[in-house]
Amino acid sequence: MSDLSFFHGPNAGYVLGLYEQYQADPSSVDASWRAYFDTFRPDAAQSGAAVDGASAATGDVATIVGAHELAEAIRARGHTAARLSPLAPPAAPDPALRPESHRITPEELERLPPTVVRGPAAAGARDAREAIERLYAMYSGTAGYEFEHIIDPEERDWLRDAVESGRFHTPLSPDEQKATLRRLSQVEGFEKYLHKAFFGQKRFSLEGTDAMVPILDTVINEAAAAGARDVVIGMAHRGRLNVLTHVLEKPYAMILAGFAGAGSTHPLTEDDFTGDVKYHMGWQHRRKVEGREVRVTLTPNPSHLEFVNPVVVGMTRAAQDDTDPAGPPEVDHKAAIAIQVHGDAAFPGQGVVAETLNMSQIDGYCVGGSIHLIVNNQIGFTTLPEADRSTRYASDLAKGFEIPVVHVNADDADACLAVARLAFAYRARYHKDFVIDLVGYRRWGHNEGDEPAFTQPRMYETIRPLPTARELWAKQLVAEGTLSQEEADGMLDEVM
């Protein structure tokens, strides 16, 4: 069997697509297909064979191949058209996402069965055009997926199915929606209070990437549910006070005492007398999740430096090692989870990030995968992305280590939670790193004593009128009838 005569319908197009892949790189297809393609001779007469169970023109097969190529292009390049930034539409999506790039038209797609697209997007679709539109919505929405650089085909297939099945994007219950709004209200209310009460003092506000706190909540809860005893977090100063207060439950009074300084009457603990500033401090908290207890540790970290990354990995590995002298040494990667929070300029800009990633799969250092969260403000101090790196994304370094990357719009709380669940599930299954690139903005400049419009007037002209993530989520819930506007406003009033 060395032609297409035994393949019918969209299967013929699928085989031709695999054959093109084989011609480019034989090792990219399964061994059984390699053996078949070694004697495969699809001439013009054979290539039109039995596309729909009867004879068909060569052009019909070419249309099927074009549809298959378009679907694969969307899976690989859909992120270039995703709505990732709250500030602007995507720049220059890949031309491969257009049907005409594959010599087909939308009308031709309507004449093809949806199965030519393959996967969950085809289920229940009227035709290939509807299946393609569904696939485009999955890969070019408010989250963009990059995992075609992963060599292991089983991992790629798992990630594809995870995205296209939507199993991590399950709708939140009304109670879960309200809980997310309450959390965003706490995050925003805390920052607004500090801005009023301590105007001009440095706090390195989280505003613009508020979803970081719900993402951390989700990962910690998933880790606890999976039986982890420890979650170790490392991060720079951006958003640290909010994480200390809400994720690790450091009392508000202690945070405010740090602003009040020596004149405060609040009793300080010995941990506060370190000589360092409040947004470099660490903390530890035992958190209960559905009857399970997990110890959450935020490591202290000087300034914006990423030196904390190997420290986090070392602390996590220590928590995973079984030190029972009575038995052989063992490592339980489920026992502890590492979360590394990065800045968008620091991730590609500081060598210690690459050095830590390079050690991530070496037996003596491996912690079963770290979950990386890039808090992407789209600006490094006063520098726009095109002036501070040579890559499209801040996360591109990770692709050299075959780490899956998901870019997500920080204003879409629902998408952010789905990506957090996906990240944990991948880490739990494959014991490898995962990168979440949280794309937002920075509302008040590098610190609250700076005027960002001096250096980036156009960016901040766009930022000033933007509604917050909490406002957007509240508006959605009110529109869906989950709660009233009064209830939504009341959640913010409680923390102000």
Instruction: For residue 351, give the nearest of 404, 397, 403 by alpha carbon.
Output: 397
Three-state DSSP class for residue 310: helix
Can you say whether residue 261 is alpha, beta or left, with left for phi > 0 and alpha for psi between -120 and 50 degrees? left
> What tokens appear for 475 in the block?
């508006």
CA pair distance 235, 25, nearest whole angstrom: 41
Rounded CA separation 253/269 (Å): 12
Q: Take residue 178 and report the two structure tokens written for it.
A: 């309200």
DSSP letter assigned to residue 244: I
**Using CA atoms, how far apart are residues 212 and 341, in angstroms rounded to an integer?**
9
Which of 400, 401, 408 minimizes the C-alpha distance to 436?
408
Tokens of 298: 């935020």
> In this structure, are strands 283-289 and 434-439 parallel, antiparallel, or unpaired?
unpaired
Indicate which residue of 8, 280, 285, 431 is catalytic: 8
Residue appearing with tokens 């990962």: 219
Tokens of 288: 């209960």
Residues 287 and 337: their CA atoms lie apart, in Å, by 14
How far apart CA 210 and CA 97 sit, in angstroms, is: 31
Q: Would residue 8 show up in a list of annotated catalytic residues for this protein?
A: yes
Cα angle: 234, vertex 426, 244; to 5 degrees: 25
* C-alpha–C-alpha distance, residues 252 and 241, integer Å: 10
E strand or H helix at 375, and its extent?
A: strand 370-376
Q: Are 64 and 10 a contacting pair, CB within 8 Å? A: yes
Pair 306, 236: CB distance under 8 Å: yes
What are the residue numbers of the active site? 8
